[in-house]
């Protein structure tokens, strides 16, 4: 029996940042060029005071209220984020408390960005296969807009905020569930996406809060996210097609064996170039970024959830996932979809502040 996703839900940040809202920060002609290239025309962003933990809690609470699993049945909680509420304690432990999970449930964080979903699927499925858990909750959530300067033309038009929750367990069905994994890292280029003053190596000071302009005219301080856009673009279109081809060879699969190929929603130009390099037909492509933005670590699981929600995934479909980004890191996996996954059609994906009102920390 393979490990399979049994429950799946997501939550979008409550506010909408439209192109016209960004015009007060960025040159309108440049913005029009950037949004045409990215395919992103609105971003779901979290207001001050709403965190990745809050988004994840809303999604998890709805999933547990409506799904086939109770809080008492969850015996492993993994939370992947790079925008935690605190450095200490782990966000997974805080979510564990909010949800009222059993004290026999293990909980820990994974500090990884856009590639986190396949990495975490590998971690969780390995732990289930090893008998360390039966019913695992995986959370992927980020509020990247909180660490992006609105005057940063390379990032502000791209990023939104969201959270995705899934529950994994061994499936009683034959020939469904997760298949193999392929992971990679180019750590020598890890500084291409970074927040310089965000840890102990470079402490935050009065100087780290001073905004500076780069050669492209983007403004940010050392406590905000930096991305070398051209370098990251080249990395993605060079590395990811070959990684996917390597994965298909590893698993003895071809593009013809796939029903849907889901790629991290970095921007539409990049995603389309990867699809074209692999000769992925249009009927096997799916996008979910135009009105929500690049959701960082939540991007790929939200994309998967929306494909299921919108009817693009059917039981028995083989889906390939490829995620890539800061680190620089990437991961590829595939799965055969179970007919036991609860439908998302009746579950709201909108943030509900009333659900967290009595659970504030």
Is 294 considered catalytic here? yes
- Closest CA relative to residue 271, chosen from 246, 309, 298, 244: 244
Catalytic residue among 140, 267, 294, 326: 294
Is 228 considered catalytic here? no
- Closest CA relative to residue 356, chosen from 57, 90, 147: 57
What is the model's pLDDT at position 352? 82
What is the model's pLDDT at position 361? 41
Q: Kindly report the pTM of this predicted structure.
A: 0.94
DSSP bridge partners of 108: 78
Contacts of 239 (CB under 8 A, 6+ apart): 184, 186, 324, 328, 330
H/E segment holding residue 284: none
H/E segment holding residue 8: strand 3-12
Q: What are the distances in angstroms from CA 178 to CA 89, 124, 170, 250?
A: 31, 11, 10, 14
Coil, strand or helix at 14: coil
Domain extents in the chain: 1-354
Task: List, as one string, the DSSP characters of 33-64.
Answer: HHHHHH---EEEEPPTT--HHHHHHHHHHHHH
Is 221 considered catalytic here? no
| Cα atoms in the 13 Å half-sphere on the side-chain side of 292 | 26
Per the CB < 8 A criterion, the answer to whether 225 and 195 are in contact is yes
Alpha-carbon gap, residue 153 to 146, rounded angstroms: 15
Catalytic residue among 114, 120, 139, 166: 114
* DSSP state letter for 350: B
pLDDT by residue for the chain (361 residues), tens only, comes to 799 999 999 999 999 999 999 988 888 888 888 899 999 999 999 999 999 999 999 999 999 988 789 999 999 999 999 999 999 999 999 999 999 999 999 999 999 999 999 999 999 999 999 999 999 999 999 999 999 999 998 899 999 999 999 999 998 888 899 999 999 999 999 999 999 988 889 999 999 898 988 877 788 889 888 999 899 999 999 999 999 999 999 999 999 999 999 999 999 999 999 999 999 999 999 999 999 999 999 999 999 999 999 999 999 999 999 999 999 999 999 999 998 887 776 667 888 887 776 554 4
Contacts of 343 (CB under 8 A, 6+ apart): 308
What is the model's pLDDT at position 359? 57
What is the model's pLDDT at position 209? 92
Catalytic residue among 120, 159, 264, 267: 264
What is the model's pLDDT at position 315? 93
Residues in the chain: 361
Contacts of 96 (CB under 8 A, 6+ apart): 77, 105, 107
Tokens 């992925």 sit on residue: 280
Alpha-carbon gap, residue 186 to 190, rounded angstroms: 7
DSSP bridge partners of 278: none
What is the model's pLDDT at position 348? 78
Alpha-carbon gap, residue 4 to 176, rounded angstroms: 7
Q: Is the dihedral of CA 303, 308, 311, 316 positive or negative?
A: positive
The angle, 0 to 180 degrees and rounded to 10, between the axes of the packed helices 229-251 and 268-277 is 40
Alpha-carbon gap, residue 133 to 69, rounded angstroms: 14
What is the model's pLDDT at position 358? 56
Which homologous superfamily does the CATH classification assign to the domain defined by 1-354? Thiolase/Chalcone synthase (3.40.47.10)
């Amino acid at each position: 029996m393979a490990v399979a996703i049994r429950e799946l839900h997501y939550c979008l940040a409550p506010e909408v940042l439209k192109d016209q809202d960004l015009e007060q920060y960025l040159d309108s002609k440049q913005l029009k060029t950037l949004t045409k290239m990215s395919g992103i025309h609105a971003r779901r962003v979290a207001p001050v005071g709403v965190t990745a933990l809050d988004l994840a809690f809303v999604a998890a609470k709805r999933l547990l209220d409506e799904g086939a699993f109770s809080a008492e049945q969850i015996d492993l909680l993994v939370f992947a984020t790079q925008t935690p509420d605190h450095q200490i304690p782990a966000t997974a432990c805080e979510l564990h408390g909010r949800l009222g999970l059993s004290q026999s449930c293990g909980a820990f964080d994974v500090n990884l960005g856009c590639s986190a979903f396949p990495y975490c699927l590998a971690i969780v499925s390995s732990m289930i296969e090893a008998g360390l858990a039966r019913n695992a909750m995986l959370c992927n959530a980020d509020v990247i807009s909180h660490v992006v300067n609105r005057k940063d033309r390379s990032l502000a038009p791209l990023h939104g905020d969201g959270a995705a929750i899934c529950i994994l367990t061994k499936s009683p069905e034959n020939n469904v569930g997760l298949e193999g994994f392929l992971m990679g890292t180019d750590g020598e280029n890890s500084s291409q996406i970074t927040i310089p003053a965000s840890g102990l190596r470079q402490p935050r000071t009065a100087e780290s809060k001073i905004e500076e302009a780069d050669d492209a005219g983007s403004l940010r301080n050392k406590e905000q996210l930096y991305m070398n856009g051209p370098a990251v673009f080249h990395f993605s279109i060079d590395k990811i097609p070959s990684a996917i081809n390597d994965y298909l060879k590893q698993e003895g699969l071809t593009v013809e064996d796939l029903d849907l190929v889901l790629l991290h929603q970095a921007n539409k130009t990049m995603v389309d170039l990867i699809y074209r390099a692999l000769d992925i037909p249009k009927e096997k492509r799916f996008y979910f970024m135009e009105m929500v933005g690049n959701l960082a670590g939540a991007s790929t699981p939200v994309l998967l959830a929306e494909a299921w929600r919108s009817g693009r995934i059917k039981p028995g479909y083989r889906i390939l996932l490829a995620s890539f980004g800061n680190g620089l890191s990437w991961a590829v996996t595939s799965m055969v979809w179970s007919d036991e996954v609860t439908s998302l059609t009746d579950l709201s994906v909108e943030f509900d502040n009333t659900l967290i009102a009595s659970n504030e920390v």
